Amino acid sequence: MTPSSSQRLAAAMQSCGLVAILRGVKPDEVVPIGLALSEAGFRTIEVPLNSPEPLASIRALRDALPAEVLIGAGTVIRPEDCAAVAAAGGQIVVMPHSDAAVIRAAKAAGMACTPGVATLTEAYAALAAGADALKLFPAEALAPPVLKAWRAVLRPPVALLPVGGITPEGIAAYAAAGASGFGLGSALYKPGDSAAGVARQAAAFMQAWRQSYPAS
């Protein structure tokens, strides 16, 4: 039986809960960066839709990387964008907000969906609409004590992923509070970074991940 989008995301997160956010990446540079991340152990890569030619980058990554690496789109704010992401080979829709219409469109297109939430009200509404995981955004405003309080009422297997300002040094505190994974932005990749530079940053994040999640 073919795994569902939810099952594929859960498997990827169990292997490595670090999500690479390649905001600003270009199609002609994305494959070496994606390969570096895959070789480091990353299993989820996101290309935000406000990047140059994001659908071309999503297609290039999907064609080049192993099947166990999931490719998705970030900064998806319109329901109509979901079908285009799926057609490009995308498997995950990541949102900065919690719009039920986008969540439903992503699920209808056969993709997993991780909406952004900043309150428990938004979190429960997103789950009711079909969200597969929750992006705690911005993480700068949702410190580990907040996540710990959320975790008391949002029990596993609900996945909680802080996103925004995450560094290798910050992972341990969130892990202790109950984080399931993390979205990694400019501390991992920023426009103009080389694949070699991304590989170095990825290694630092992977070391922090393995120290905080030794069972993964």
* Residues that are catalytic: 46, 135
* Spatial contact of 59 and 78, defined as CB atoms under 8 Å apart: no
Dist CA 191 CA 207 (whole Å): 23
* Spatial contact of 98 and 126, defined as CB atoms under 8 Å apart: yes
